[in-house]
Structure 1
């Protein structure tokens, strides 16, 4: 059943079944427990992940000041492809970690195997480019909203445009993403319920 979600995702790109099956064979399914890190800061991230079940947050780590902040969300029904874009493409140490927010399953795809596969099967490269472009667009949209809207308006935006995040991500991480305390987020939510 969980693999059907991966197939449904690939179907959106009109990839033939034999290519989908071959692509799937590149990966390895991993089970990740809640609060377990899938990747760490200072590692070079050489893998991409597809969330089959559960969810994750990406947290940016500020080494000099020793703090972390949630910067993105990946759920089985919302942005299921995860990769640290900078580390993955630049092959530089990452400044972020990937944390499971519930018991989860992913397919892990090594970069080297994917690059060879994309070269051999060009339609899969188009799928990868479209997936990465969507991830970059979403991050850019987040950045615009975080810098131009009030904190309450950012929460409203998440609730309206990215509802799976509001429904499934623990609120302490949503508050951290917005840049407010969990208590302030509770006040925003209470105010919305009253109106």
Structure 2
């Protein structure tokens, strides 16, 4: 939490504004393997991971299984929601699941809209992070589509090391589209 507060101050948000923002959030504890968002729900919140980590998992109806599509860790891409559901106000085709005991602050969309309307700098702060998150998602998806599986793992090692250090291997394997055994082989040769 302290890192996020310091980052917000560096961005130009005053300590009073930061306290106002925090007071509009709801602190939530999530146990390992619990979902903060389920498939079929409407994502009405943006969460900031204070402690722990989460995976976003798309549900493939045809295969009747989940596939990891994103990672959110307290020290790495801590802002999370299901963007399509949040912005279009439709049901989510994704679940967001804690991979270890975690703590978040949840901000309802109506609270964020009020804060954005009231504070121009907060609105700019949100827009900057939304654009940054969308660019990141696009970059990762491009690598996921374009790189061979072993090169994709090496890319994660080199460019997104917090993922490979903090996220359980089964979710990384699911993200890459390989079995955990195949990922173990890649790890041994990397």
| TM-score of Structure 1 vs Structure 2, range by shorter chain | over 0.9
In 2: Cα distance, 1:13 partner to 1:131 partner: 11
Q: Distance in 1 between matches of 2:63 and 2:180?
A: 21
Q: Tell me how far apart the structure 2 counterparts of residues 75 and 141 of structure 1 sit (CA, whole Å).
A: 18
Secondary structure of the residue that 1:51 maps to in structure 2?
strand
Aligned counterpart for 1:151 among listed residues 149, 152, 164: 149
Q: CA deviation at 1:5?
A: 2.8
Count of residues in Structure 1 that have an aligned counterpart in Structure 2 = 190
Structure-1 residue corresponding to 2:64: 66
Separation (CA, whole Å) in 2 of partners of 1:27 and 1:9: 18
Moved over 3 A (4+): none
Structure 1 distance, partners of 2:165, 2:33, is 18
TM-score calculated relative to the size of structure 1:
0.95
1:70-109 to 2 correspondence within 5 Å?
70-109=68-107
Q: Secondary structure at the match of 2:11?
A: coil
* Corresponding position of 1:140: 138
Supply the distance in 1 between the matched residues of 2:174 and 2:94 (Cα, whole angstroms): 15
Q: 2:44 aligns to what?
A: 46
SS at 2:96's partner residue?
strand
Which residue of structure 2 aligns with residue 173 of structure 1?
A: 171
Query: Deviations along 1:62-86, whole A, 9 cap, x unmatched?
Result: 2343211000000000000001110
* Match of residue 20 from structure 2: 22
| Number of the residue aligned with 2:110 | 112
The Cα of 1:11 is off from its aligned counterpart by: 2.4
Cα distance between partner residues in 2 of 1:112 and 1:69: 30
Q: Is the 8 A contact 1:47 1:108 kept in 2?
A: yes
Out of 121, 125, 128, which is 1:127 matched to?
A: 125
Work out the CA distance in 1 between the residues paired with 2:54 and 2:7.
18
Tell whether the 8 Å contact from 1:5 to 1:52 is kept in structure 2 after alignment: no
Structure 1 vs Structure 2 CA RMSD: 1.0
TM-score of the superposition, structure 2-length normalised?
Answer: 0.97
Unpaired segments ≥5 residues, structure 1: none
Q: In structure 2, what is the Cα distance between the partners aligned to 1:12 and 1:69?
A: 36
Deviation of the 1:16 alpha carbon: 1.1
